[in-house]
Chains A and B, each alone.
Chain A
């Protein structure tokens, strides 16, 4: 070893020593392992059987939906339920059989349970049955020895104190579908519900919150011995709506038994204060699952209770559309307010003759007079001069026949025809189509929500968008202030004429809706009637002379519409009412709108934020 210096020798000796030490240390660890795994193995095996720690997720409390004053629209209530943990029973069929003797399970329920057991890891609890009564729960607890794997716990379920009255706004929740769970395994929590319609669906992310976890020590039978650790989930956020529940109830009371809808908006910021649609349904039915018979009943009902008429019911606006036509004429410079048209009771275009609603005609009228009398001939002529494309553009600007920014799923946009659309369908635009569009008939379709928005935009000259969410948690949402909304871009001169005409409809002798007049001079109402035909009146019927649409079968009678805002000089609220097959706007819709407006003005929900006392103090000072 002549090349080996002392240093190398030392390294070799010490490295070998180190290796020996390492081997000894690993050997010691192996010996200790022998002690734990082999000598004490049986003891630990028993411990492992008896002493199991299982982690379970806990569904976070779902956020509530509140009205603008804090009244609960959708909340949570306790729900006793039986769960099955598959790995804790040796014979699942026997367990379910025993369970079935206490609380009977249908075959399809068993099939669902067995399917879910296969789909999940064996320690995930599977829902067997929920909404147990106290007696059922007690019986399950008493028979616990026969029911290995079954455990009872308490969860929450959704409750809707106002049921039908707010069903279309609040929407409803239902168990997540199997597809949903495949996408997001976090939804596999027993008892978790997801929003399926309305604001429950719209605000699902905020309402749901974050799941918590609990660590439980359980014995071999699955009985919980103690709770080791609990991490509370983050509860869902409360959603505060613009709706005033008491006003909503008053609106629905006033609609009575009609198939009808009414929308009340705060003119200045577009907050929806009430949105009634009749008939409705009970949203809590969805909580437990809807029966086949219930679905059939809903589907066959010709009054379509599942349809939110206010946002998804589409109607021809009839004469309520005339302000949009007038505005298009004025803003395009085709006509001025003083332009006169003579109405002989009919309007001829080529071979076609279009009738005014008043048989003898209105004589010569200016634009204000035409609005006040709702003269059809005047607007046939106006529409002919302006053209359909400019009418469509103006209607869209007022929110008619176009998509609104409403924060509610399922709203329909309605429709305003244009030349381009007609060409797209392979036909040339007929001049007659423009003429009927002048009185809001033909292809035009709008929703009651759009009509209320239309009235609010005429009243304020701002492009307000209707919305239902006022606060998320405690944060006031944008759009709550009038200044959040841009100018509509229609001149004050034009808007003044529209407002003046609407005022005359209600407040001037000879107007079409004197019935809507409010006696209090501070609360002058401006409005417009409309009746939209759903059935073409034939020449023979008209010539018989005694035609009366009120005598038609219900489904063929015209819809009755009314739009209005008040007070005239300082607009606060806008209301639209549509009574399906109500025959005439002035007779069927206007009185309802008047009463709703009066009620709204008295309550003044937009003028007070929380306590009524504040409003009283303000008024008295």
Chain B
């Protein structure tokens, strides 16, 4: 009866909620943002004005937003899941119509001076919507193929729109995120195998539909030295910067490659190279360990939650963050083709940072409300 007393409680006051926030987790996020500050400070040639001070300002804003969301009742958020998903879908269509062109793709929406990237919003609302869908489903119902058709459509619709932008990297991440959600919800193993079988053929088809620059990225990925001054340029230079860092690095602000402006996006997608060059293998692995702790911490929050909606939301947010991290680091090492994916909370860029913090706000709300009575528990 001891456990029953807590999770039967329908609400608790604000002061109690603030105590429930995992402040250790908040501290981990602050540490990551501090690494970002140092890297951006160095990327600007030892000056805070260019990127770093704005980075701190944005993180502070994001932190306030995150705590605010953490205190919102998870059951209220659950009710907003599908409306939020639909809004994100509308924005995704809007960005095709009125969006700003950036680097040859329509990804940005200007809303009252605020830049919004609807694909980032989409990933989070997709997690909410799928969590909401699977929340009330029993083990038996999940076995029913007809029950899976609406959520499959809910995944394919945004993925198709993001491919059209075109933003291949984000589209693939969104698709993987969707699959991961199905997996966590308990969809049977054999169904994934069935879907995976035609993937090589689909890939063949997708390749033929790609834009030239995307095809060039994939081609140079398999053979970067084939075009050292063109599409392979970024990968080679990125590896030179990382490699020249060695075991212990050249020291803070001592990197030469980054300061020579050899990479056009050293403060955004390629920020990891600055850290790798200046702090070496030891520093890079330490950063990866920090990122890993944040991912695993999110998964632990999912495991400790007493209701399916919270479990799935926390799982989705943590997986999304992991995908960002893995894709970005693999990208700068030349392990996968380059695609505009930032390193969350480290890279320079406002819109992505805010969305990441919104995600962590939801994660924290799951943690705060892990024991609330929320329908169909167990």
Contacts and interface: CB of A to CB of B under 8 A. Distances in A.
Contacts of A342: none
A47 B240 contact: yes
Contact of A54 (B138, B244, B261, B325): B261
A32 B333 contact: yes
Interface in A70-127: 121, 123
A53 B288 CA distance: 28
Contact of A5 (B139, B285, B303): B139
A10 B242 CA distance: 41
A52 B260 contact: yes
B308 interface: yes
B183 interface: yes
A54 B246 CA distance: 22
A404 B257 CA distance: 56
A154 interface: no
Interface in B213-258: 229, 233, 237, 239-247, 256-257
A19 B240 CA distance: 32
Given A34-B281, A44-B239, A121-B45, A26 B288 contact: yes
B322 interface: yes
Interface string A515-559: 000000000000000000000000000000000000000000000
A587 interface: no
A301 interface: no
Interface string A9-20: 011101110110
A19 B276 contact: no
A51 B322 CA distance: 34
A7 B262 contact: no
Interface stretch (B89-97, B100-108, B292-300): B292-300
Interface in A209-235: 228
Given A18-B184, A29-B329, A37 B261 contact: no
Given A23-B292, A37-B247, A7 B285 contact: no
A349 interface: no
Contacts, number: 144
B315 interface: yes
Contact of B260 (A12, A47, A53): A53
Contacts of B160: none
Contact of A37 (B142, B180, B280, B378): B280
Contacts of A33: 242, 276, 281, 284-285, 288, 329, 333
A32 to B, nearest CB: 6
Interface in A1-49: 3-8, 10-12, 14-16, 18-19, 22-23, 25-26, 29-30, 32-34, 36-38, 40-45, 47-49
A55 interface: yes
B373 interface: no
Contacts of A36: 239, 242-243, 333
Contact of B243 (A10, A47, A123): A47
Given A7-B138, A10-B139, A34-B281, A40 B243 contact: yes
B369 interface: no
By secondary structure, the A interface counts as helix
A19 B319 CA distance: 9
B241 A48 contact: yes
A352 to B, nearest CB: 70
B246 A48 contact: no
A372 B308 CA distance: 108
A121 to B, nearest CB: 6
Given A7-B138, A33-B333, A48 B257 contact: yes
B326 interface: yes
B329 to A, nearest CB: 5
B128 interface: no
Contacts of B281: 33-34, 37-38, 41
A22 B296 contact: yes
A183 to B, nearest CB: 15
Contacts of B184: 11, 14-15, 18
B378 A5 contact: yes
Given A7-B142, A36-B242, A48-B240, A29 B333 contact: yes
Interface in B117-139: 137-139
Contacts of A54: 260-262
A507 B229 CA distance: 79
B186 interface: yes
A357 to B, nearest CB: 70
Contacts of B69: none
Given A8-B378, A14-B184, A44-B242, A123 B260 contact: yes
Interface pairs A-B: 3 shortest CB-CB: A44-B243, A48-B244, A53-B262
18 contacts: A5-B378, A7-B137, A7-B138, A7-B186, A11-B312, A22-B292, A26-B291, A29-B329, A29-B330, A36-B239, A37-B242, A37-B281, A37-B284, A44-B242, A45-B244, A53-B261, A54-B260, A55-B261
Given A30-B285, A42-B246, 12 more contacts: A11-B312, A15-B184, A15-B302, A19-B296, A22-B292, A23-B296, A29-B335, A30-B288, A33-B276, A33-B281, A44-B244, A45-B246
